[in-house]
Amino acid sequence: MEFTKPLLKGKLIKRYKRFFVDAIVDNKVVTAHCPNTGSMMGLLSKGNDVYLLEHGDPKRKLKFGLEIIKANKNLVGINTHMANKIVNHGLSNNLIDELKGIKKIKSEVFFNKETRFDFLIERKKEKIFVEVKNVTLFRDKKTAEFPDAITKRGSKHLLTLIDAIKKGYKSYLIYLVQIQNMENFKIAKDIDSEYYKNYLFAKKAGVNFLAYRCKISSKRIFIEKKLKIIND
């Protein structure tokens, strides 16, 4: 996925009220929208490089949006709204080895009255639900982790993916690692032990888990490489 225009580089001052960040750009303090409501653990140190997208829409309250943070020498894509666009691009261009040859892709499809999954895809006679989780947490140089906070919604998605299998669908969960230089992925069971238990339960029930790393720059982000899941 390409950004609509090159990103502007600045320095992080602080994030506050979940949706706002202050940064210095061209020696001026600007306030940008933060499109990530998670904890963003390990990314918010004052002085980190940030990359902002300048919006041209006069109806927007904030002129800038935060897209990338550089933390511990790695660029990290923090815009959770980009994750599905990146995966859609990956599915459409056969960048995900396990899900090549897709005939039809539908986004935001309801499975039941309470839950919708990110994608319903069709391949030959298969119908496959795909859920995407954006990954921005890393606590060592080579291993990305999810989640970065307790996620009851994440656990609910795991259990519903099992229900989808019982009704004849195949189920995939893709951990989209928007972090440079990662080689492995694991569930952060010390952060959310319940999610880890449900992950193991879902894996045993037949849910397919994938982790893919993105290639990130100030011009574009796209799926680059499959990572090894090391919880198993």
For 70-98, how does the pLDDT look when each residue is reduced to its tens digit (9 = 90+)? 999 999 999 999 999 999 999 999 999 99
For 204-228, how does the pLDDT look when each residue is reduced to its tens digit (9 = 90+)? 999 999 999 999 999 999 999 999 9
Q: How crowded is the C-beta side of 105, counted as CA atoms within 13 Å?
A: 19
How far lies 20's CA from each of 16, 53, 110, in Å? 5, 14, 31
**pLDDT value at 6 more than 70:** yes
**pLDDT value at 232 more than 90:** no
Res 2: pLDDT: 87
Residue 5 binned pLDDT confidence (cut-offs 50, 70, 90): confident
For 138-181, how does the pLDDT look when each residue is reduced to its tens digit (9 = 90+)? 999 999 999 999 999 999 999 999 999 999 999 999 999 999 99
Q: What is the pTM of this model?
A: 0.95
Res 165: pLDDT: 97
- Kindly give, in sequence order, each residue whose CB lies less than 8 Å from that of residue 145, ignoring residues fewer than 6 positions away: 135, 137, 138, 139, 185, 186, 187, 188, 191
Cα separation, 52 vs 149, whole angstroms? 25
For 8-64, how does the pLDDT look when each residue is reduced to its tens digit (9 = 90+)? 999 999 999 999 999 999 999 999 999 998 999 999 999 999 999 998 777 788 999
Q: What is the distance in angstroms between the CA of the first residue and the CA of the last residue of the chain? A: 31
**CA–centroid distance for 103 within its chain:** 24
Res 113: pLDDT: 84
Cα separation, 21 vs 185, whole angstroms? 28
For 105-123, how does the pLDDT look when each residue is reduced to its tens digit (9 = 90+)? 999 999 988 899 999 999 9
